Amino acid sequence: MNRIKMTMMLAGLAVCAGCALEKEQGSAEAFPWVADRFGDVEVLRYQVPGFDSLTLSQKKLVYYLSQAALWGRDIQFDQHGRHNLAIRRTLEGVYAAYPGDREAPAFKALEEYLKKVWFAGGIHHHYSMDKFVPGFTQADFEAMVRATPADSLPGFPGGVDDLLSTLAPVMFDPAVDAKRVSLDHSRDLILSSANNFYEGVTEAEAEAFYRALAAGDGARPVSHGLNTKLVKQNGVVREIVWKSGGMYGPAIDKITGNLQLALAFAETPGQRQVIESLIDYYKTGDLKEFDAYNVHWVEEQQARVDFVNGFIEVYGDPLGLKGTWEAIVNFKDLDKTRRAEQLSAAAQWFEDHSPIDPSHKKKQVKGVSAKVITIAMLGGDCYPSSPVGINLPNADWIRKEHGSKSVTLDNIMYAHNQAALLKSSLGEFIYSEEELQRAKKFGAEARSLFVDMHECLGHGSGQLNPGVSSEALKNYASTLEEARADLFALYFMMDPKLQEMGLAPDPEMARASYDSEIRGGLMTQLVRVDYGQQLEEAHMRNRKLIAEWCLEQGADRRVIEKKQKEGKTYFVINDYERLRELFGRLLREVQRIKSEGDFEAGKQLVERYGVRIDSTLHREVLDRYARLDLAPYAGFVNPRMVPVLQDGAIVDIHLDYSQGYAEQMLEYSRNYSNLPLYN
């Protein structure tokens, strides 16, 4: 399957000049943008402008869809690791009821660890996938747990001793469950990954199982394995389905219950079908129903309110099969949608003028829809760390026959920019005053246009050769797919067509976007990687691959130049036109690799350019960044939706932005948690 539809927002964090700069005016201080800060994370608040302009019926629809979005939180924790719910509830129990010194360093460290676990949906970092190292000892942990009243702790069959002997090694032994998702191909990818998608099976057994299933595929294959756990019991490999009455059934029933309530407020017959088919899918676990839901979802274009809810993205599985549960609820920003529509309407022009081989082009680019949306609720794997752009569905055949929907999460991006405005991270990694001014003036606009092009045009472009499996690129597929979408956007950023369309009135916009891509790929994204580690995450590998390849291929003409100033390293673009040609050449090659399913070439490209980090440069970047005292990652708390009741009926819904991070997490654990400790 074709993957990676979420542009992780990290691309545009404080480290990315493009995103960090935003407008210079703006009321950054009027709203409490920052909710919390701990570890390498800053938690922000986002506003939901336009909510009050929705009709009461639309507000109720948003409300019930939001309830459905919050009920899947436990699923995500359990998918990320089988002990996560037990660990979270133990930590929450101690946090709430520990009678000892709450100012002691060990308790403070436990609080910070709990905040990290909440943020990541488990004990592994949401981005690096490495297990957190608690800032308190195992002895501290045992003492705090034993001092906490037992009725505040999750019940284990053998009591507290059982709890401690089960959980302590998982939390404290570095050798146990070290990585949530391992992409190190020299080891068994399943056995070396701590996620809860497989149990008792090896990578070879899982591949054989799904190869056998795929052998029966026709032209419209279901997404095998997307909503199941694969286990081996009594020597037999089989799937346990996530559905009502199956694994995660109690949470799924709450989700479908709220979808049922939402149904009464569907805006159009098409939207009614979307919700109904999703309910059917959750009830049966039938992946054909999931495809039906996706087809209805893509085709529904009229309603203002929209949502995503399900087992969707597969980054959490090294084999790229299992969907992690996620949800968002949103409504269309009518004004800002116009630009994305303009791009979508011209999709065929871009496809026809793309530098890829003609045989790899879609003869008809279908329904690449795009809109700018306002997020009203984030859930599951989209919370607290949220994407800034989404392109779904993932199934290739649906994309080909029915198109896809792209959205830009405008209020999330805006919150980022506003929070970044409060600091002033910028200049550190920018070489010249000219480049700095360009970033300040055009960075935000360029970033936003780039994300639209990546999502609306990039992912939807190109086609596979007949007979080529969409799974041919295996663990390199995600990185190459992101590279393809980025390169498509980069190549056309400098095209006169954008000027003609009135979207990029100043050529400096494209330059600002090129500056940001090269700077990010070669330097600034390294702040999010621990010293000594290599790149693992697909979006990061993609950016490194592009920048590194262009640096090498343009070396003879010094298209990109590495410079030193006052002991600091910078990368400077000398020739933007030639850089554009290089983007075009690489796009052609990456498209060829995808179209032909050339695994070896894809592997070479990623391994050679996208993985290894120069340790000297890495040290330097980390040191420079540390001096800025910024958080490399951001996430969000949701607004609280408060129904206004009159005689028991909802007459309005108010948004309350005052909730803090820990407060919200505790509320969600209290009110939206019904799964057993172990599923």
Q: How far is the CB of 482 from Zn ion (least distance, A)?
A: 5
Strand-strand pairing, 404-409 and 560-565:
unpaired
Q: How far is the CB of 413 from Zn ion (least distance, A)?
A: 15
Nearer to Zn ion, 3 or 59 (CB): 3
Q: How far is the CB of 371 from Zn ion (least distance, A)?
A: 16
For residue 536, the one-letter residue type is E
What are the tokens at 218?
A: 């026709």
Using DSSP's 3-state secondary structure scheme, residue 65 falls into: helix
Give φ, ψ of 172 to 5 degrees: -110, -25
Rounded to 5 degrees, what angle do the CA atoms 200, 204, 210 make?
90
Residues 6+ apart with CB under 8 A from 617: 523, 526, 569
Q: How far is the CB of 610 from Zn ion (least distance, A)?
A: 15
Nearer to Zn ion, 117 or 485 (CB): 485
Q: How far is the CB of 486 from Zn ion (least distance, A)?
A: 7
Quick one: the chain helix, strand, coil %, rounded to 5? 50, 15, 35
Nearer to Zn ion, 7 or 58 (CB): 7
What are the tokens at 120?
A: 């990541």
Rounded to whole angstroms, the Cα distance separating 596 from 583 reads 20
For residue 669, the one-letter residue type is S
Residues making contact with Zn ion (CB under 5 A): 7, 485
Nearer to Zn ion, 276 or 452 (CB): 452
How is the beta sheet containing 633-637 ordered, strand by strand?
A: 34-38, 41-45, 633-637
Rounded to whole angstroms, the Cα distance separating 662 from 47 reads 19
Q: How far is the CB of 606 from Zn ion (least distance, A)?
A: 16
What are the tokens at 585?
A: 């050449």
Nearer to Zn ion, 4 or 631 (CB): 4
Rounded to 5 degrees, what angle do the CA atoms 259, 260, 264 make?
105
Give just the sign of the alpha carbon dihedral 461, 464, 469, 472. Answer: negative
Q: How far is the CB of 485 from Zn ion (least distance, A)?
A: 5
Nearer to Zn ion, 274 or 485 (CB): 485
Burial of residue 427, with CB atoms counted within 10 A of its CB: 0-12 exposed, 13-18 middle, 19 or more buried: middle
Q: Map tokens 């999750």 to a residue.
A: 154
**Measured distance between the N- and C-terminal CA atoms of the chain, rounded to whole angstroms:** 27
Rounded to whole angstroms, the Cα distance separating 546 from 552 reads 10
Ramachandran class of 504: left when φ > 0, alpha when ψ lies in -120 to 50, beta otherwise: beta
Rounded to whole angstroms, the Cα distance separating 243 from 679 reads 12
Nearer to Zn ion, 171 or 449 (CB): 449
Nearer to Zn ion, 388 or 485 (CB): 485
What are the tokens at 262?
A: 């939402």
Q: How far is the CB of 7 from Zn ion (least distance, A)?
A: 5
Q: How far is the CB of 459 from Zn ion (least distance, A)?
A: 6
What are the tokens at 580?
A: 């554009």
Nearer to Zn ion, 243 or 528 (CB): 528
Residues 6+ apart with CB under 8 A from 599: 472, 473, 474, 476
Say which DSSP state 68 is in: H
Q: How far is the CB of 623 from Zn ion (least distance, A)?
A: 31
Mapping DSSP onto H, E and C, the string for 395-459 reads CHHHHHHHCEEEEEEHHHHHHHHHHHHHCCCHHHHCCCHHHHHHHHHHHHHHHHHHHHHHHHHHC
Ramachandran class of 200: left when φ > 0, alpha when ψ lies in -120 to 50, beta otherwise: left
Nearer to Zn ion, 457 or 560 (CB): 457
Nearer to Zn ion, 394 or 595 (CB): 394
Nearer to Zn ion, 228 or 542 (CB): 542
Q: How far is the CB of 458 from Zn ion (least distance, A)?
A: 7
Nearer to Zn ion, 276 or 455 (CB): 455
Rounded to whole angstroms, the Cα distance separating 85 from 123 reads 10
Rounded to whole angstroms, the Cα distance separating 81 from 252 reads 18
For residue 456, the one-letter residue type is C
Q: Map tokens 């969600």 to a residue.
A: 668
Nearer to Zn ion, 388 or 420 (CB): 388
Nearer to Zn ion, 7 or 673 (CB): 7
Q: How far is the CB of 340 from Zn ion (least distance, A)?
A: 15
Which H or E run includes 594? helix 576-596
Q: How far is the CB of 542 from Zn ion (least distance, A)?
A: 8
Q: How far is the CB of 533 from Zn ion (least distance, A)?
A: 23
b/e map 196-231, b = 16+ CB within 10 Å: bbbeebebebbbebbeeeeeeeeeebbbbbbbbbbe
Q: How far is the CB of 43 from Zn ion (least distance, A)?
A: 24
Nearer to Zn ion, 377 or 485 (CB): 485
Q: How far is the CB of 392 from Zn ion (least distance, A)?
A: 11
